[in-house]
Amino acid sequence: MSSLAADVIDPDVADTFLTCSVCEEPFKNPVGLPCLHSFCKECLTKHILSTTKAQKNPKAFTCPKCKRHVDSPDPHQPPHSWADLFPPNHFVLSLMEGVKIRSDSQKCDPCSRRNEKVIAIRWCKECGEALCQQCEGFHRSMKYSQHHHLVSMEELKTQPIKNTVSRPPCPDHEGTLLGFFCEDHNQVVCSSCVTIDHRKCKHVTTTAEAAEKQYVDAETLSEKLKLQRDWSRRIAENRRHSARVLEDSTNQIRHQITSIRQQINDLLVQKEVKILEELKTAHAEEKEQYDKVIETCDGLVSTTENAIALIQNSMRHGSDTDVILAIDNVKNESQSCENKLADLTTRLKDLFINFSADSTLQAVVNGLDDLGRLTTTQANVNLTAPYNVEPMTYRSDHTHRDHIHHEHTHRDHIHHEHTHRDHIHHEHTHREHDHNDRTHREHQHHETRHTHTHRDDKRREIEIESVRSLPLSPISTARKSPVAMPPAAHQRKALTPPYEIARSPVVTPRKLRKRSPSPLPPLMLPKSVSPFPYNRIIPRPATLETFFKGRTSNDRENCCFTGADIIQDGRIILCDQTHRKVKVFNHNYQWCGEKVLSAKPYDVCCIGGSDIAVTLPTEKKMQLYTVRDSDFICIANIQTGAKCYGIAYAQKKFAVCCFSAPPSVKLMSRDGRELKTIARDMAGNDYFNFPDYVAMDKNTRNIYVTDRYRKSISCITALGEKRWEIRYDNLKVPRGIAVYGSKVFVAGCRSHTIVQLNIDGDILGDIISEGISYPTKIVVHPNGENILVTQHQATLIDVEKNMVKIFSLNNQ
């Protein structure tokens, strides 16, 4: 930024809010677009000319920031005059002026009009001008200004910017300012408007009174916009992830195809080129769709951030009129963003490209038609909104109707693009019937969109089928491996949305180049839903409260703490594998005693009072102890029949992770009876590869398990039915897991994070991302206020070895 920018931008105001994103300099004659972005008039003119020079009859352009389609204010005017037709951003101008007059080099306004540069020492609030010493004397001597309130420039710097921001002028009455609000017409007006055009209106108040009512809505709207911004980022991140998966699977298949080609003779070169070209086309077409969605989402992120800045700055620095105008504009833009995001969310699909070699390849090389069969599968992406989305509502004013008409026109344009791509596989008359039917119902039902899917009688060798994919969180991408799937495999991942969604029918297999739009389910909200219900709560980061060393003077080397728990009196129990010990520390984190065991312990859990249960994997058993002040008394041994690792206890039941054949989680009673073994589903598929740690909710209805080999988190009911299983890119090698109420906490050993989920498997975010290394076992204090974390890895730096850390959950 130039030195001029440094003089103009005040630390109380974000520099980006007063800086043109095109020239990256402070605004000069800023004008605002319908998307709420503002630009210098000259910069906008250059952009319009550059984007419309290739158009024969230009009628629109795209926003330089968010790439949104913007109609010309007057298509009959040449593009070089369009920028003059957009309204000037009076609020930004006033804010820049308010910042400028607080600079040390503010010049006297009357002298500046005489081309004289004199430093100002006073500010007249009534006139809105800076005055030098000589002009101050003239000002005080004039009859009309002798009673004006003058303040020193030094005193002015201590006052809020909004005290010097002027009201916008009335566009209809020259010389008057907008200072009244007509509730009947939802319009900000001047005194002349009130007496002429609104004299019969019953609800006309001052802008100060009207703005007071808007402040609550402003705060709620800001929160909603932040969620929409995160929503946009989630969709964009999902598309980036899908693009990476698509790239990986494409590379994998390319390698497979090339390997097959190397095993056969040179006569297959032509077939190899053909199928590689089909693969390239499939990848390019799908990648193009991902890029379009990402570009749209990046634009929406920019729009929501700009709207947030507009609200915050207007509330903090703007006049009452600015607040009303800003809120009214942002509400409309927020609704538009919401509609676009909901539409994008319901239409997300993942494409998986699969290749299967011809089974008769070796036998019929000379008569082979193709090198193999290239197929792809699509998966619907069930990405939920971060709050309940209201049905689309429409305002009666002309501007909003034009906006809605533009949105329909834009969607029709997209539809035509899809239709053009399908032209190879559809008869012309069939396509026109489908388009007309779609367009007719789009204009009659704005809240429900329908599309038709069609089957082709003639099947080709390249097919696409839709499957449901895993859900994503606000900051995450739940990941599926890009493996080949059978054409009839439809996999769903259960996820409870914040509102009821009408499920769309299963999409039938279709040709590779045929891309039919997915049905858009209508949003059905409960009648009791409030205007801004936020069901998803983003967790606040936990803060490090204290830490202590688990190694004592009796230990010969560094400890390895794989298990921990907190018993009812607040004492901490640690399992030290290196020294085959269980140790007890008091609530002040001082060592009290220990017990050397017959084998290395893995995990420990409290089973009531001062009693604990410890797993001993090599001896395939659990040992139950009573913890005294400084020692442990063994009260029972329970055989598990397999190597046992993670353990949890609730309602007089144990849940034990067993590395058996097949790997399982066993439910056992306190007296050692095996109540149930959870290992496979009804189809005989294994639930686990290596169940590592386990947690149960208080009523034992749900069991949460981390898998060391799958690198996933699963939720299984006590009846043995899998509710969900997720993998999360930002949670590498999940280890310890804990449940407190409706919150699930998981330790990412290699991502060095603690992540919070809800009981439906939705990733809510990182609660600990700094201050820990290789977290292994986590324990939530019985009061829910703290979380204990053990660390284990041979590569830990010396200061981190043997360290146990306590974090405050900050009322999560």
Whose tokens are 């799958």? That residue is 710
Using an 8 Å Cβ cutoff, are 246 and 351 in contact?
Answer: yes
Q: What is the pLDDT of residue 534?
A: 39
In three-state secondary structure terms, 365 is coil
- Mean pLDDT is highest, among 364-378, 398-412, 455-469, 541-555, for 541-555
Does residue 685 carry a pLDDT above 80? yes
Of 492 and 55, the structure prediction assigns the larger pLDDT to 55
Does residue 465 carry a pLDDT above 90? no
Q: What percent of the chain has pLDDT over 70?
A: 74
3-state secondary structure 132-170: CHHHHHHHHHCHHHCCCCEEEHHHHHCCCHHHCCCCCEC
| Confidence label for 275 from pLDDT (cuts 50, 70 and 90) | confident
Q: How far is 698 from 590, CA to CA, in rounded Å?
A: 30
Q: What is the pLDDT of residue 479?
A: 37
Tokens of 57: 């009859």
- Mean pLDDT is highest, among 45-49, 156-160, 459-463, 513-517, for 45-49
Residues 6+ apart with CB under 8 A from 636: 623, 624, 672
| 715 class by beta-carbon count within 10 Å (0-12 exposed, 13-18 middle, 19+ buried) | buried
DSSP letter string, 470-534: ----TT--B--------TT---------SSEEPPPPPPPPEETT--PPPPBPPEE--TT--SS--
Q: How far is 612 from 353, CA to CA, in rounded Å?
A: 51
Q: Could you give the C-alpha distances from 242 to 356, 478, 670, in angstroms and in order? A: 21, 10, 47
Q: What is the pLDDT of residue 513?
A: 36
* Residue 809 identity: L
Q: What are phi and psi of 408, to 5 degrees?
A: -65, -40
**pTM higher than the cut 0.85:** no
Angle at 82 between CA 80 and CA 86, to 5 degrees: 145
Tens digit of pLDDT for each residue in 635-675? 999 999 999 999 999 999 999 999 988 999 999 999 999 99
Using an 8 Å Cβ cutoff, are 451 and 517 in contact?
Answer: yes
Residues 288-299: what's their mean pLDDT? 90
Q: What is the pLDDT of residue 644?
A: 96
Instruction: Kindly calculate the radius of gyration of the chain based on its CA atoms and give it in whole angstroms.
Output: 33
Tens digit of pLDDT for each residue in 130-161? 889 889 888 888 888 888 888 887 777 777 66
Using an 8 Å Cβ cutoff, are 145 and 160 in contact?
Answer: no
DSSP letter string, 751-803: TTEEEEEETTS-EEEEEE-SS-SSEEEEEE-TTSSEEEEEE--TT--GGGTTE
Question: Residue 720, Cβ neighbours under 10 Å: how many?
Answer: 18
Of 481 and 58, the structure prediction assigns the larger pLDDT to 58
Tokens of 403: 């906006």
Does residue 775 carry a pLDDT above 50? yes
Tens digit of pLDDT for each residue in 351-384? 888 887 766 665 665 565 676 777 777 767 766 7
| Beta strands per DSSP E along 149-294 | 150-152, 180-182, 187-189, 204-206
- Single out the residue of 783, 705, 769, 766 nearest to residue 737, CA to CA: 705
Q: What is the pLDDT of residue 668?
A: 95
Residue 16 carries which DSSP code?
G
Using an 8 Å Cβ cutoff, are 240 and 294 in contact?
Answer: yes
